[in-house]
A and B are shown apart, each in its own frame.
Chain A
């Protein structure tokens, strides 16, 4: 097994001299590793990815149904519990997603470099921005050859931060704030999340509106994410989809 990471190969600067910031930049930019495969995503991270994906699907579907419920049913109210069940799934999935997200943050601290990547954007690095631009050109068909990455490419990293991590945090906060409403304003949950309403002018209705808007950010992200994963799996120089299953990144240099 070749268990090589991006910075294990000594390049111009010796690894000992690298500061934390240097390592962040290095891990997020082009790699020249000669390894055929690298172990990138550890098991907890992969687990989070798929749990998160399932929760997001459940939350989007049930959330949409809570706002726009299915056609009315008739008969005795006690014979049905449609909205009750939909809301139960929504709340359960929301709590799983929130706990998984906390676990994910924990893993960012104790996991390998790649567990931190989507939280840390090396915005101070010109090299990184240059590669963002290269990646944009690659998607605009203006660059012929993609660069090789062990982790996420810089553009993907940007998208994950702004279209996934930030909306997820906002969804968790607004979601728990809205959930706390049912518990009443003197509940411990309201004490914990009541301040969120203050961010939206203490307007509960506005918090609902934003909870919808943030969901659409995540939907848009998912469309792009799935498309880019499939596309890059075929067209880039590294594996993507199988990596999120096995954890191993395979490199395939199919052109000179």
Chain B
């Protein structure tokens, strides 16, 4: 357990050259100056590794899948060494009682010193019975492990926002972890899944500098979630020019114009897709010709439909309509009412005039 990262990954046969490459890439992806490469390398070489416990609640494991595909091969190596492989459902070797015992041991041995990474969220209805881990509701395990953790990372939209299982009507009352754990710093890394390099970047930052990365108002690391996809989108010039795909496979779509009219959520989504991109920077949804669906945003499943610019609003009449349709309808009704009222007013005025045979204007001395 006392091994440093460096010793561990060297044991795994990684060359020093590859290790230094990793440190440079990490510094770049964190937006740090080259001077920090040495600092990262030094931290990796000297610091005893901090155990990272990875818990899985209600989730689909896409975060784990994204994580283990972290672009640069070395990233996964380092990450595998960083993680306490003793406990991570997808990756650990042990099972059953043995596995749960390990969790207990980490809690005792590294009290207040381990990082808790949570993938998924706890359902709270029926005392949490909708998600049982090791014979107990997940919410209990989560609270227990969080109590002795140094910091908590909320992996993905499930842990950060609730995601699909918390979408209306949310039958299990799936609840993002910051509403369950209130006394620990929580770093939210939303996305469905988050970008692999963002995940490793966040973890590396925390282990290297021994502190939580700078967070925004919602608790997301600023270096990855500080701007919207739209702000750094390579199709942004088409948006400003007024060049849009109007339909799938029309000329604009083939020319790579802005997908705004196709319901792209880039303008309302905070994530690093348009800069870091996916699969070793190969592409990201918009680059592949499909709009962003805003997977890292609050309630993104309920902000539907994905292919409209405006969300459907539940109207009192039960009909689904968006804000503009409602507004146009209301304006139409009011406009018609005004027209009818004007007609009636004219009638009344004509009648009043003929009723009072007096001249219309008697300006002075009315009172």
Instruction: Write the chain B residue with the least CB distance to A215.
Output: B327
Per-position 1/0 for B299-320, Cβ under 8 A of A: 1100100000111010000000
Per-position 1/0 for B329-346, Cβ under 8 A of A: 011001100100110110
A167 to chain B, nearest CB (A): 12
Per-position 1/0 for A54-87, Cβ under 8 A of B: 0000000000100111111110011111111001
- Whether B241 and A185, one on each chain, are in contact in the complex, defined by CB atoms closer than 8 angstroms, is no
- Whether A205 and B241, one on each chain, are in contact in the complex, defined by CB atoms closer than 8 angstroms, is no
CB-CB < 8 A to B361: which residues of A?
Answer: 252, 254
Instruction: Write the chain A residue with the least CB distance to B339.
Output: A227
Task: Answer whether A184 and B226 are a contact pair too, CB < 8 Å, given A83-B242, A213-B323, A253-B366.
Answer: yes
B297 to chain A, nearest CB (A): 7
B326 within 8 A of A: yes
Partner of B323, one of A190, A216, A253, A256: A216
Per-position 1/0 for B261-296, Cβ under 8 A of A: 100010111100000000000000000000000100
- Whether A205 and B265, one on each chain, are in contact in the complex, defined by CB atoms closer than 8 angstroms, is yes
Per-position 1/0 for A76-103, Cβ under 8 A of B: 0111111110010000000000000000
Instruction: Write the chain B residue with the least CB distance to A64.
Output: B324
B218 within 8 A of A: yes
Complex: A240 Cα to B311 Cα, angstroms: 40
**Looking at the complex, which of B9-17, B48-56, B232-240 is the stretch in contact with chain A?**
B232-240
User: Which of B217, B246, B303, B344 has the most chain A CB atoms inside 10 A of its CB?
Assistant: B217
User: Which of A87, A144, A206 has the most chain B CB atoms inside 10 A of its CB?
Assistant: A206
- Whether B246 and A74, one on each chain, are in contact in the complex, defined by CB atoms closer than 8 angstroms, is no
B222 to chain A, nearest CB (A): 6
Per-position 1/0 for B245-257, Cβ under 8 A of A: 1100001100101
A-B CB pair tally, cutoff 8 Å:
167
B362 within 8 A of A: yes
Instruction: Write the chain B residue with the least CB distance to A182.
Output: B231
Task: Answer whether A67 and B366 are a contact pair too, CB < 8 Å, given A83-B242, A205-B265.
Answer: no
- Whether A213 and B327, one on each chain, are in contact in the complex, defined by CB atoms closer than 8 angstroms, is yes
Partner of A235, one of B243, B345, B358: B345
Partner of A227, one of B239, B251, B341, B362: B341
Complex: A144 Cα to B356 Cα, angstroms: 12
A125 within 8 A of B: no
B298 to chain A, nearest CB (A): 4
Task: Answer whether A84 and B240 are a contact pair too, CB < 8 Å, given A203-B303, A209-B313.
Answer: yes
CB-CB < 8 A to A34: which residues of B?
Answer: 367
B21 within 8 A of A: no
Partner of B222, one of A32, A73, A185, A254: A185
- Whether A252 and B242, one on each chain, are in contact in the complex, defined by CB atoms closer than 8 angstroms, is no
Q: How many of chain A's residues touch chain B, expressed as a range?
A: 35 or more
CB-CB < 8 A to B240: which residues of A?
Answer: 77, 81, 83-84, 87
Partner of A83, one of B227, B241, B294: B241
Partner of B244, one of A69, A144, A234, A255: A69
- Whether A74 and B252, one on each chain, are in contact in the complex, defined by CB atoms closer than 8 angstroms, is yes
- Whether B331 and A223, one on each chain, are in contact in the complex, defined by CB atoms closer than 8 angstroms, is yes
Partner of B331, one of A73, A82, A190, A220: A220
CB-CB < 8 A to A72: which residues of B?
Answer: 242-246, 252, 257, 261
CB-CB < 8 A to B260: which residues of A?
Answer: 69
User: Which of A181, A205, A223 has the most chain B CB atoms inside 10 A of its CB?
Assistant: A205
B360 within 8 A of A: yes
Task: Answer whether A73 and B242 are a contact pair too, CB < 8 Å, given A186-B222, A205-B294.
Answer: yes
CB-CB < 8 A to A74: which residues of B?
Answer: 243, 251-252, 255
Task: Answer whether A202 and B237 are a contact pair too, CB < 8 Å, given A70-B242, A213-B323.
Answer: no
CB-CB < 8 A to B366: which residues of A?
Answer: 253-256
CB-CB < 8 A to B237: which residues of A?
Answer: 77-78
- Whether B297 and A255, one on each chain, are in contact in the complex, defined by CB atoms closer than 8 angstroms, is no
B348 within 8 A of A: yes
Instruction: Write the chain B residue with the least CB distance to A207.
Output: B268
- Whether B362 and A254, one on each chain, are in contact in the complex, defined by CB atoms closer than 8 angstroms, is yes
B228 within 8 A of A: yes
Complex: A195 Cα to B217 Cα, angstroms: 8
B349 within 8 A of A: yes
A137 within 8 A of B: no
A75 to chain B, nearest CB (A): 8
Task: Answer whether A227 and B342 are a contact pair too, CB < 8 Å, given A212-B323, A253-B367.
Answer: yes
CB-CB < 8 A to B246: which residues of A?
Answer: 71-72
Complex: A223 Cα to B225 Cα, angstroms: 42
CB-CB < 8 A to B334: which residues of A?
Answer: 220, 223-224
- Whether B311 and A209, one on each chain, are in contact in the complex, defined by CB atoms closer than 8 angstroms, is yes
Per-position 1/0 for A180-215, Cβ under 8 A of B: 011011100010001101000111111011101101
B216 within 8 A of A: yes
Partner of B241, one of A82, A253, A255: A82
Complex: A254 Cα to B367 Cα, angstroms: 11
A145 to chain B, nearest CB (A): 10
Complex: A97 Cα to B343 Cα, angstroms: 34
A106 to chain B, nearest CB (A): 30
A-B contact pairs, 26 of them (CB 8 A): A72-B242, A74-B243, A78-B241, A80-B241, A80-B243, A83-B239, A84-B241, A87-B240, A141-B348, A144-B352, A181-B267, A182-B231, A185-B270, A186-B222, A186-B226, A197-B217, A203-B303, A204-B268, A208-B310, A212-B322, A212-B324, A213-B313, A231-B341, A231-B345, A235-B349, A253-B367
Closest 6 pairs between A and B when the two form their complex, measured CB to CB: A216-B327, A253-B366, A82-B242, A212-B323, A80-B241, A84-B240
